[in-house]
Structure 1
Amino acid sequence: MPLAVKVPREKGEEVRRKLIELGLFNRDYRIGREGDYLLIPVVEPVEGFETVEVELEPVRRRPHSYQEVVRVPKELRPSLPSSFDIVGDIAIIELPEELVPYGKEIGRAIMEVHRHIRAVFAKGGKVGGEFRVRPLIHLAGEKKTETIHRENGIRLKLDIAKVYFSPRLATERRRIFERTQPGEVVFDMFAGVGPFSILLAKKAKLVFACDINPWAVKYLDENKRLNKIPNVVPVLGDVRKVAGQIKADRVIMNLPGHARAFLKEAMLSVRDGGVIHYYGFSPEEDLFGKHEEAIRDVAEELGLEVEFLDRRRIRNYAPRQYNVAIDFRVYVRSPQVQ
């Protein structure tokens, strides 16, 4: 039975604060009442106060993780994913094969702990196809896939079933924003719904945002209005047909699975001295080598010079596989003096 100090009501708040300060307040129970007295739970008897044993209502603490409340066989608990993506009010989790039969229970547990989540989906396969989308399996909540995601002070409306979007790149997008200079022209080659474009437009003079997915461009146009950003130019189409028609101070190549194939287009679209932000996937044993070799080869083919500015390992996306970023500056090669 818990212990409590018995104090007059009018002195309750003063005593409670003092007990907290002394580390004696027992947060596992609620304060009780007995006539004109309050029964304040304590962890041990307190000198100078009447201490009593009394029935008190326990405090029901909200769990910090869905893992605390989900019901799966004990032997499968080590397989429970420790994290999942949250896009707006939708959660997307990747389940190992052995947990797929318990997907609905896992979805309900996520919603129980994260009260703002209105729908939970499991990844039903890899990102693929021309539009870079993945199949999804509904687990719990509403069967809706459209949401509004907030990051870096902007709002992004999107449909997770129709466009590619990763909330895990929010820090990287902020990093590029901090390096962007006022008055720049930016070319976002694979813009999606505009997480780079809308943010960078707050500083840049003009942002050309290209994507081949009509749904992505539709949402990009909506996100312009949603954020009251007029200086983004959505471009629907294959970036190969756009490259060279734009000359930008900064080029974003956020297509890590295939960016190497578009290096020529990126270099044809950057001004002399401009910066390209390149993203790729790499094994742990060679994070940057093959990407930098490809960058040098294309520059040589076009008669350009490159200066590597920064290399970063952004995140792990598979065992010993990483999403990496390379920033480099492009120069027109100086003519050789005879």
Structure 2
Amino acid sequence: MLAVKVPKREAEKIRKKLLELGVLAKGYAIKREGDFVLFPVTGQVEGFELVESEFERLEKRYHSYREVVEVPEELRPLLPSSFDIIGDIAIIELPEKLMPYGRVIGEAILKVHRHIKAVFAKGSKVEGEYRVRELIHLAGESRTETVHRENGIRLKLDVARVYYTPRLATERRRVFEKTQPGEVVFDMFAGVGPYSILLAKRAKLVFACDINPWAIRYLEENVRLNKVNNVVPILGDVRKVAGKIKADRVVMNLPKFADRFLREAMMSVKPGGIVHYYGFGPEEDLFSEHEVKIKAVAKELGLSVEFLDRRKVRPYAPRQFNIAIDFKVE
């Protein structure tokens, strides 16, 4: 094809000129030959040296898998606009009508996002004592173990065996920034350690409890992976641990059922200590129901609470939000 041949030192200036003239051929890699640069052009260009040359085609870049996926036109509005990426695994929530097209959707995600190696669809809600969900393999490698990076730490986990959401990375960073050197932290529902490992970078000691043996197994591995030596993994029911630990800061990341463990949290926090409580709330009244429960439990225990912060963390369902309440216990 036709090309404009220019000295290297003038290449950027000429490139801009060719763009202005609308003659620079798109979709081809620019070629270098010794001290010259060759720009592919769509036709004759006056005032420049023209040569014949072959150019390597560039693969088109896409911003979303929806640009390349092939599904019936009437179903396109149902395609999710986002999905979770955990390490090199994508997990997407597909409406029932799109499930027959799961494979082509998965392959489209792999095509657009080259760092993703496996794609799964959510097959159920998060449920059960271990807070895990069924996953349906759509495309790519048929494995569920990966290493995820966030906030400067690495987390090895199996997305089919433990609960983990990347959507709380900002919230975890917020709690980290509030944590003071020398503090003792109690992470009541630690999972694979996204809070525990991060807070260990600043706290004196972190007690990390979870009832899921797979979570504790990965937590122990993540302690080694991140080279922290001040995390104490505890496998078991947090009810049996509560009160044996006295912490400056307690993390209650179990939004669906955290209100059932308020007694255990308050039994485990030192006077003047902080509790980070998570729950779900309706859009019209995000916090009231949770604050009433917090006050009631404190009263039962002869304690008082001071609410320090209330936050809308992320959307959870239509008109429902994951919320955070920070409160001090005296």
TM-score (norm 1): 0.89
Does residue 60 of structure 1 match 2:59? yes
Residue equivalent to 2:12: 17
Pairwise mapping of residues 191-202 of structure 1 onto structure 2 (< 5 A)? Answer: 191-202=190-201
Show structure 1 runs of 5+ residues with no match: 332-338
Distance 1:20 1:276, change over 3 A: farther
Distance 1:49 1:76, change over 3 A: same
| 8 Å CA contact retained: 1:5, 1:49 | no
Partner Cα distance (1:5, 1:172) in 2: 52
Partner Cα distance (1:254, 1:181) in 2: 19
Residue equivalent to 2:160: 161
Residue equivalent to 2:205: 206
Residue equivalent to 2:306: 307
Partner Cα distance (1:90, 1:153) in 2: 19
Does residue 249 of structure 1 match 2:244? no
| 8 Å CA contact retained: 2:11, 2:37 | no
Residue equivalent to 2:69: 70
1:97-131 Cα deviation digits (max 9, x unpaired): 11010001111111111112111110001000000
Residue equivalent to 1:334: none
Partner Cα distance (1:191, 1:32) in 2: 53
Partner Cα distance (1:32, 1:203) in 2: 51
Q: Cα RMSD between the aligned structures?
A: 2.5
Distance 1:154 1:247, change over 3 A: same
Matching residue's letter, 1:313: K
Residue equivalent to 2:282: 283
Matching residue's letter, 1:17: E
1:78-113 Cα deviation digits (max 9, x unpaired): 111111111111110000111010001111111111
Residue equivalent to 1:178: 177
| 8 Å CA contact retained: 2:15, 2:39 | no
Pairwise mapping of residues 221-236 of structure 1 onto structure 2 (< 5 A)? Answer: 221-236=220-235
Partner Cα distance (2:107, 2:36) in 1: 42
In the TM superposition, residue 262 of structure 1 has moved relative to its aligned partner by: 0.5
Residue equivalent to 1:131: 130
In the TM superposition, residue 28 of structure 1 has moved relative to its aligned partner by: 1.4
Aligned-pair identity (%)? 69
In the TM superposition, residue 45 of structure 1 has moved relative to its aligned partner by: 8.5
Distance 1:244 1:167, change over 3 A: same
SS in 1 for 2:304: strand
Match of 1:28 among 1, 26, 29: 26
Distance 1:305 1:100, change over 3 A: same
In the TM superposition, residue 21 of structure 1 has moved relative to its aligned partner by: 4.8
TM-score (norm 2): 0.91
